[in-house]
Amino acid sequence: MPTLIDDTSTLDLVLDVKVKVTVQLGSCQLPMREVLALAPGAIIQLNQHASDPVGLYVNDKLIAYGEVVVVEDSFGIKITELVGSRPS
C-alpha cells in the first residue's frame, strides 16, 4: 500500500514543520440575503450526502478521502483513499 512519504531521507529537515490539516464535509452556495439572516439554530444543508467520503486537505491541497469517525469525545477521519492512488 502506498504512503504519502516513500523516501524520508530527503525530508529530515521538514518533518517537524507544522501544516494546516482540514477536513471538508461539503459546501453550498447561499444568497447573501440568507447569509445575513443566519442565527443560532439555523441549519445549512450541504451538497454532500452523509455517507459520502470527506476530503482531507493539507495546506489547502486535497491529499485523501476518508470517513468521519468519533474518537473518544472528538471527531476524527479514517483515511479510505489517497488521492494519487485511485485506480484508472
Q: Whole-model pTM?
A: 0.71
Q: Higher-confidence residue: 51 or 84?
A: 51
- Chain segment 11-40, per-residue pLDDT in tens: 777 888 899 999 999 999 999 999 999 999
Domain boundaries, the chain: 16-82
SS3 9: helix
Distance CA 60, CA 70 (A): 23
CATH of domain 16-82: 2.30.330.10
What is the spatial order of strands in the sheet that 21-24 belongs to? 21-24, 54-58, 61-71, 74-82
